[in-house]
Structure 1
Amino acid sequence: MHRSSLLAFLLARIISSQAAQTLIPTTCFSSESALESYFNYLYPWGSDHNGGARMDKAHIAISSDTLTLTAQSVTGQPSTKQGGKTIQINYLSGTVNAKTHFTVTAGGALNFSAQFQAPTAKGTWPAFWLTAVQGWPPEVDMAEWKGDGKISFNTFNTSSQVEAKDVTYSDPGKWHDVRAELRDENGKDVAVKFYLDGKEEANQVGKAFVGTAMYLIIDLQMEGSSGSPGPKSSTYF
């Protein structure tokens, strides 16, 4: 059994030359009502994405200031179609997306910080990421784990123009700090710095990301890019 959670340390802060404003406080996982004040259940577009897990509210729990997403192996679920491909659903799992949309404005910035325990076994695919509200890209994977013992930091400018950095994710059973800093670089592009446990691991650029609204998503997807088959026992994130 792989156990992981997100501690109530999620903090999204928008910074400009005039002021700093906290958009999601560290108390966002203090209760179910607090969660629902700042987050919606499922993906912004529904229950399915591009992996083998279908999202379901019943697989989301709040306890001790911690959000826990649980992926449970199931059979008999209808398949889904994503990107023109038919995908078999082998799990029910959980995801939440922030009610606030996040935009790096001209001259502005965004900081995102969180603490995670994250599974790294084959077939487990948790992520903490930003993606465009309309169209695609932009996408910024502030933390992504793809079943290979590593954490990935990625910025998508197109499906083929991707900046990516994989770093060994030691001691997945322990809490780790993740931080991403997004800054307007030149009135058009966004510079993105990624940190793991206080160490800068990657510095990437999102082309023409300034002024584009993005969703914030925390999900426990399964299989897909993390390989298959995934674990049969319940997985937690």
Structure 2
Amino acid sequence: MKDLFRFKKLKFNWQFGLTLILLFGIPRFLFVLEANRTGNYSFTSIIFVLMWLTPFILLKKEGRKIIGLKRPKNIQWLIYSFLIGIFASAIIFLLGNYLYLDSIENWFVYISNSYSSMPVDELTGSNKKLYFGMFAIIGMTFSPIGEELLYRGLIHQGFVPEFGKNRASVFDSLAFAIVHLAHFGIIYSSGSWEFLFVPAFIWMTLMFLTSRLFYYCKTKTESIYGAIISHAGFNFAMTYFIFYHIL
């Protein structure tokens, strides 16, 4: 097999996958928690940009192909992937509303707090469309590209040699679900931290299943772009629900 890495000591194995989970997961987890408290998400954005760059820093062209960074073989499934992401987001939104209405235990309601920098009272007409478009574009680029390159790409491939593709997807999805506890589950409200055990468990389960859907889209397109597009569809729908049904 051709050399996949730019650095000779590196290779795809579970130690490589676990290292990336910890290297990116721990600071990202802490930065998101701090951002939920302060409203400053600049450090979180830096983490996502680093996720974008990592495959290009670590891997040669053949290595990037191995993780799925290549032209999709099924273009039609890119459209399906986007729709699957929207569908998953809609199910999660409806479930949150059914279980927790507009309380802070509703995951999308809590996540909407991250939009606190906006002039909510002015979100009407064209002004609302402008802000929605801006946040939708950010949501469809930063985290979908960064997280999919990392979790469905590098981390996934790290576990493949020892565990196979399906079990590797279980591991990268678990890591994805756990890190999203920082977005909801461990919440900052009324000046104090709280762990919402049952809502957090449901949220983690939903994130795990959604992550598996992203991987499914990757397999159908035979490209990481399937996962990225599906993730972008999810975030697009989430932004829509927050703007037009929560704020």
Give me the TM-score of the superposition, normalised by structure 1.
0.31
Larger RCO: 1 or 2 (CA < 8 Å, sep 6+):
2
